[in-house]
Structure 1
Amino acid sequence: MAAHHFCCCLPIRLGAFLISLFQFVIAGFIAAALWYEVSQWHGDIPTKTKVTYICRAVYYTIFSLSSFFGFVGTLKRSASLLAQYASYLGWAVFVQIVLDALYLWAFFTVPRDTFIKDCINGSTDQNVINACNNFNKWGKGYVIASVAVGLLVQAYAWYIVNGYSHKLDSEIERKASVPMDSGYKYAAAGRASTEALTGPSYNYPYADQAHSFGGDAPRYDPPSRV
């Protein structure tokens, strides 16, 4: 069933506008951060880590561009752009599941000692060491929760944008079914309705002044004013 409102009571167009705007900004920021992280790699980086980061960077780059076109579509009320954006969001949910599974696999298969060592990265700051140890302790729950919330948000975004796309399609079909000129149109009168005006005159009984109704009455003489 297509959505009709955003967050229960807000206009669905506002929802599509906010979703496309935030996804464009956030996905662009994540893509930039991932590409920056990749550019800063030095030394021996595990292959699965490289593959995970590069795949996610490419995904978020494409995601940001698609969200930009969706943002333009909401401003222009373009059903075609929004349909493409909704279609991409539908595929993005599936791709997000695959990437999140790959990310979780890479995160949980790295030995904890190696993870803490890479996190500390030779730092002697006790705060950094404590932060890395705490993340190793509590980070699993945070990672799983962030993945789950991200998937739910992504699915809801597709639901809203897809609903607005269907709404625009319905409006276009409704306008196409209504005649463009539904006002009054002049219809020329038929021959029968004009014969009384253009036909010859005929004499008939009591048509003359002497035999007409009131013909014998005295002529009306209005009183003169004093």
Structure 2
Amino acid sequence: MAFSFRELFFGGTTFCCCLRVRLGVMIMSVLGMLFAGILSILLWFEVSTALNLTSKEKAALVIAGLVETLLFVASMLGFVGAVVRKQLFVQIYAYFIYVHFVLNLGVAAFLLYTLVHVSTTDQNKACQLAIQNADAQNQCTNLFRVGLGVYGAVAAGVLLAEMYGAIIVARYVNQIQREKRNTRASRISRMSARASARYSSIKDASEHDSIPLHATNTPHAEDFDPYDDNVEGPDFRRTSLSTYPAYEDPHAAASPNVKAKDHNSKAEP
């Protein structure tokens, strides 16, 4: 079998070497409900209470609140789908995890660009112009660099964790699809085996239809020909009605003396 990166990353059934991917989806969905619920509450509270926000800032907060709210709902569906093994719910959760990862990647890149630009400007203003001591300028510059490094490490850690979670969800989706395909294939094979057994039984029964009606073990057995005068046909006189008493004429049953008396009386003039 040829090596496949798709099978390596998305075809497994475990994560962290020994844990099942179904357990991983449950843990991820619970954490997603927790963090997304808290963030959505904070974002919607900020939108409703902050009055000095610009239109762009308010639109950004509204979009972020919508994304976190949808992540909360999708995490609920993912948890239910992992518990009851519902493929549709797990797929919805997986697709939203993919979209959320792409959005977080874009937001992290935009924030990194903004922080680098702002830190460079602030560094020139705060460290080079406001501070005259060379040692203090170096300390100020290192402080800005440390802040950028901390942000980069946190953003990279969050993105890697979310990417690994997306791989876990993809593995579980593929596992459910394989299980359904195997179940469908086994059901079809059982039905085909049952149909073949039924056909073979009908075929065995049809083989007996060619047996002739006359006894084949008799050496001189011949078929009955109704147009042959030399062959006696079956006697139909003895039927099931022959078991009942036949009708008798009362005159025919009279004694011979009575018949003779009647004859003599007719012979007299």
TM-score range, shorter chain: 0.5 to 0.7
Of all paired residues, the percent bearing the same amino acid is: 22
Q: What pairs with 1:1-226 in structure 2 (closer than 5 Å)?
A: 1=6, 2-4=10-12, 5-42=14-51, 44-45=52-53, 50-104=58-112, 109=118, 139-178=147-186, 179=188, 180-181=190-191, 182-183=193-194, 185=198, 187-188=201-202, 189-193=204-208, 200=215, 202-203=217-218
> Which runs of 5 or more structure 2 residues have no equivalent in the other structure?
1-5, 123-142, 220-269
1:95 Cα deviation from its structure 2 partner? 0.7
Cα distance in structure 2, aligned partners of 1:192 and 1:45: 90
Q: Which protein has the bigger helix share?
A: 2
SS in 2 for 1:187: helix
Instruction: Flag structure 1 segments of 5+ consecutive residues without an equivalent.
Output: 113-134, 205-226
Partners of 1:200 and 1:18 lie apart in 2 by 79
TM-score normalized by the length of structure 1? 0.64
Instruction: Output the CA distance in 1 between the equivalents of 2:50 and 2:115.
Output: 17
SS of 1:157's equivalent in the other structure is helix
Q: Which has the higher contact order (CA 8 A, sep 6+)?
A: 1
User: Structure 1 residues 178-187 or 7-16, which shifts more?
Assistant: 178-187
User: Would the aligned equivalents of 1:90 and 1:158 in 2 still touch at CA under 8 Å?
Assistant: yes
**CA 1:203 to 1:46, structure 2 compared with 1: closer, same or farther past 3 Å?**
closer
The answer to whether the 8 A contact 1:83-1:165 is kept is yes
Separation (CA, whole Å) in 2 of partners of 1:86 and 1:176: 23
Give the Cα–Cα distance (whole angstroms) in 1 for the partners of residues 60 and 163 of structure 2.
22
**Alpha-carbon RMSD:** 3.4
Measured after TM superposition, the shift of residue 144 of structure 1 is: 2.6
How many corresponding residue pairs? 182
Normalising by structure 2, report the TM-score.
Answer: 0.55
User: Cα–Cα, structure 1 residues 38 and 192, in superposed 2: closer, same or farther, change >3 Å?
Assistant: closer
Bigger shift: 195-204 or 24-33?
195-204
CA offset digits 1:157-211 (Å, max 9, x no partner): 111111111111122222222325345547143354477797526446xxxxxxx
> 2:201 is paired with a residue of what secondary structure?
coil
Change (3 A) 1:192 1:104: closer
